[in-house]
Structure 1
Amino acid sequence: MGQLDTGILPDGGKARRVYLLLKGEIAAGRLTPGTALPGEQKLAEAHGVSRVTVRRALETLAADGLIEKRTGAGSVVTAKTDEAAIAADMTTLIPQIVRMGRETTARLLSFSYGPPPPRVAAGLGLSEGQMVQTAVRVRLIDETPFSHLTTHVPEDIARNYSEADLATTPLFSLLERSGVTVGSATQSVSATLAAPDVAEALRVPVGSALLALTRIVREDAERGVEYLSALYRPDLFRLEMALARVGADGARHWEPVIGPGADA
């Protein structure tokens, strides 16, 4: 993928800020491969910091493989942008979850049974004393990790598959194999920063911005079958939604456009 993230941020809060801002510009494709960055003095003036601070940020970007220092040309962007990123359409989510499981690989980091955290018990509608199977996985595309997934599944469902099954088969397929018929799902999206363990698993610097997604999958109104907490690298994953303007006069509003894949 052209990136060799070190997992280390430059020393100093100002250097980290400059580093993360420039890295975000590269990840978003606003700074494309081959683009020469402004000189250290201009970057220092633009960000209100010293040249030493800028130099620290640029050195870390170079160590990550995001830029290359070239004689006579300064710092040049070398990283690929999000052209190879995984994109998920919010309106056709379930079919895409299945397809993503087939087109990417997963690495199982942990697998255990135990009592659920309070938020998970409430989300799944579990009674006191009910146990869940908790698994932590990293999903990869072309050997590069793009998501860190923590899933909680009620014990009576999870006992239908093994740790080895989860290491080789998408969870959604295992749920269906266990007799689960998904009826609905709710999902929320926010942002967070990479904690040390997540940063190591995703090969990003500690404190990097991540896309945080929480999804609760239900068989019916009362029974939850999966509670997912997912963290995504924004340079390798994006959520998309098509919208249409509908209604008349003052009642016009935006609604999601449901694509043909929704019934897949």
Structure 2
Amino acid sequence: MSAVLPDAIDRHSAAPMYDQLRQLIIDGIAREGLQPGDPLPGEHGLCERYGVSRTVVRQALAQLEHEGLVERVKGKGTFVSRPRTSESLVHTLVGLYDDVERRGGHVHSDVLRHERTVADEEIALALDIPVGAPVVVLERLRHVDEEPWSLSTTWMPDAVGSVTLGVDLSEASLYRLLADNDIIATHGVRSAEATVATHEQAQHLGVSAGSALLRLRSVSRTDDGTPIEYFVAYHRGDRSRFEFQLQQEQSQASLLHIDGRAGITLAGSKRVTP
């Protein structure tokens, strides 16, 4: 059953009615203790309850959807949104497992591939190793709270990756495993860019081919500059958002470049200035 949202629009307020309605819906979700996936009143019900036009209702819902607080499903209605990955992992050396865990979520990984292979030109360049050198590849389909979330492939130099072979990483953090073996990333470079899902990626992630994805590329290094991993990860666009920390000092800037593909490259855990 849909929730009943209390209170009323203040028609004498300087605040736009759609913004008031937006806040009333947020307050109602909190008051009712609604959970992700719970339905909200439909457009017609909100119009009647608050005595506003459908245009006002649609403006309020559009803003809430933009903020990632509600989801509108054509033909089904409006629902409390599932939380999005914060993507603080774009600008810090944190992995998806730790990013989600600290927000109270759960990550499970389907390990699609975990074996030794050899470095091609792209991998060799990223890891500062010769073409053909042995590497360990780890390909995982990551689930957040049982929902397909990202598809990632990580390549590690053999000396690093060998400590991961034989370890069950379906319920574990790769970074923690490496740290337990005294392999700790202290800095690196990550980039983020928009792309669309191929047919194969769409099947894994539970979206339609051509759906928006966020592609992350990352090289992490130890204190002495030795690369320990290179990964490429595809995150569902409807479950991801950018999150950057800002400082005033220009000297702290770590925004390196924005290329023609709208890719944003960020340096390690440094902060970004506007």
TM range (shorter): 0.5 to 0.7
Aligned: 1:180 with 2:179: no
Change (3 A) 1:235 1:245: same
Shift in Å at residue 97 of structure 1? 4.7
Matched ranges for 1:129-168 at <5 A:
129-168=132-171
Residue in 2 that maps onto 1:219: 222
Preserved CA contact (<8 Å) 1:26 1:79: no
Amino acid at match of 2:199: P
Amino acid at match of 1:174: L
Change (3 A) 1:163 1:210: farther
Matched ranges for 1:96-115 at <5 A:
97=96, 99-100=98-99, 102=101, 103-115=106-118
Q: Secondary structure at the match of 1:216?
A: strand
Shift in Å at residue 163 of structure 1? 4.0
Aligned: 1:78 with 2:78: yes
Q: C-alpha separation between the residues in 2 aligned to 1:31 and 1:158?
A: 39
Shift in Å at residue 85 of structure 1? 1.0
Amino acid at match of 1:148: L
Q: What runs of 5+ residues in structure 2 fail to find an aligned partner?
A: 1-35, 38-61, 255-268
Q: Secondary structure at the match of 2:124?
A: helix
Q: C-alpha separation between the residues in 1 aligned to 2:97 and 2:152?
A: 15
Shift in Å at residue 68 of structure 1? 1.8
Q: Secondary structure at the match of 1:245?
A: coil
Q: How many residue pairs were aligned?
A: 194
TM-score by length of 2: 0.60
Amino acid at match of 1:149: S
Aligned: 1:209 with 2:212: yes
Q: Secondary structure at the match of 1:87?
A: coil
Q: Secondary structure at the match of 1:168?
A: coil
Shift in Å at residue 160 of structure 1? 1.5
Q: After superposition, what is the alpha-carbon deviation per residue over 1:86-133, rounded to whole angstroms, capped at 9, x for unaligned? A: 203258623565623644221111222111231111111012432111
Q: What runs of 5+ residues in structure 1 fail to find an aligned partner?
A: 3-23, 35-65, 70-76, 248-252
Residue in 2 that maps onto 1:234: 237
Q: C-alpha separation between the residues in 2 aligned to 1:110 and 1:136?
A: 5
Q: Secondary structure at the match of 1:199?
A: helix
Residue in 1 that maps onto 2:74: 67
- Of 164-173 and 112-121, deviating more is 164-173
Q: Secondary structure at the match of 1:176?
A: helix
Q: Secondary structure at the match of 2:200?
A: helix
Preserved CA contact (<8 Å) 1:243 1:254: no
The CA RMSD measured in Å over matched residues stands at: 3.3
Shift in Å at residue 140 of structure 1? 1.2
Residue in 1 that maps onto 2:11: none
Q: C-alpha separation between the residues in 2 aligned to 1:234 and 1:25?
A: 17
Q: C-alpha separation between the residues in 1 aligned to 2:80 and 2:168?
A: 34
Change (3 A) 1:219 1:78: same
Q: Percent identity?
A: 24
User: Runs of 4 or more off by more than 6 Å in structure 1?
Assistant: 24-27
Q: Secondary structure at the match of 1:185?
A: strand
Matched ranges for 1:33-44 at <5 A:
33=71
Amino acid at match of 2:122: R
Preserved CA contact (<8 Å) 2:108 2:170: no
Q: Decide which structure has greater helix share.
A: 1
Q: After superposition, what is the alpha-carbon deviation per residue over 1:199-243, rounded to whole angstroms, capped at 9, x for unaligned? A: 111100011110000000112455211101011112112220132
TM-score by length of 1: 0.62
Shift in Å at residue 162 of structure 1? 2.6
**Greater RCO between the two (CA within 8 Å, min separation 6)?**
1
Amino acid at match of 1:198: Q
Amino acid at match of 1:226: E
Amino acid at match of 1:227: Y
Preserved CA contact (<8 Å) 1:28 1:235: no
